Amino acid sequence: MENMVHVFLMGKRYEVPASLTIMGAMEYAGYQLIRGCGCRNGFCGACATIYRIQGDRELKACLACQTQVQEGMYIATLPFFPLVKQVYDMEKISPTQQIMMQLYPEIYSCIGCNACTKSCTQGLNVMQYIAYAQRGDFARCAEESFDCVMCGVCSSRCPAGISHPQVAMLARRLNGKYLAPKSAHLADRVQEIQNGTFQELLESLMGKPISEMQELYNHRDIEK
């Protein structure tokens, strides 16, 4: 018999295999996941979840597709968190400190509580990248926030109402467009795609079975 644990989903007790993720346990228990399941591989941030272990008062945040169930785990999924998303034209803004003051002035209300960092499902130093954004250091903000999956858990815990993922996205866009070195190799490849250079190859790949595609991927040439 597989090792089983007891978890509580939406307040109801279930016995599930200990090897499952929270998402897998929900499906094992009979829940049909239609929303909040996205990529199921930790990249889309759609399955933001909060949980508490029986006997432990600390409330923790995670992604349901990546986190394994534990004995006595009380689980509740988070609804979509409405981040403030400002509209801007990348051709009309520049990488200055004033652009953050204009689009996301709330970052200057940060009280340094570090709740954002503590709740980050990716373990990012969120408060640090917000500090970089405050100073207009977009290159460091982009680097520090690179692994953000936009789940919004950090913002849901912020007393200042900062939309951390959107601030980070703006910093990465500014860095990519204006600050980072230009990639001539990338520009050449884009032009080749537009010219249809790889069209025949793509059509050939689309006609192959998945097993052959996996084999090609696992033995692909990786450019150094």
Phi-psi label, residue 196: left if phi above 0, alpha if psi -120 to 50, beta otherwise: left
pLDDT of 35 > 90? The answer is no
Tell which residue, 58, 35, 61, 60, has the closest CA to residue 48.
61
Averaged pLDDT for residues 98-107? 96
Question: Quick one: pLDDT at residue 1?
Answer: 56
Confidence of residue 77 (pLDDT cuts 50, 70, 90): confident
Question: Quick one: pLDDT at residue 65?
Answer: 94
| Other beta carbons less than 10 A from residue 52's beta carbon | 16
pLDDT of 96 > 90? The answer is yes
Q: How many residues does the chain have?
A: 224
Give me the residue spans of the domains in the chain: 4-77, 97-179, 192-218
Alpha-carbon distance 35 to 14, whole Å?
Answer: 21
Question: Quick one: pLDDT at residue 79?
Answer: 72
Q: What share of the chain is helix, strand, coil (3-state, %, to 5)?
A: 40, 15, 50
Report domain 4-77's class.
Answer: alpha beta
Question: Quick one: pLDDT at residue 10?
Answer: 86
SS3 13: strand
Give the pTM.
Answer: 0.78
By mean pLDDT, which of 18-27, 41-50, 84-93, 141-150 is the weakest? Answer: 41-50
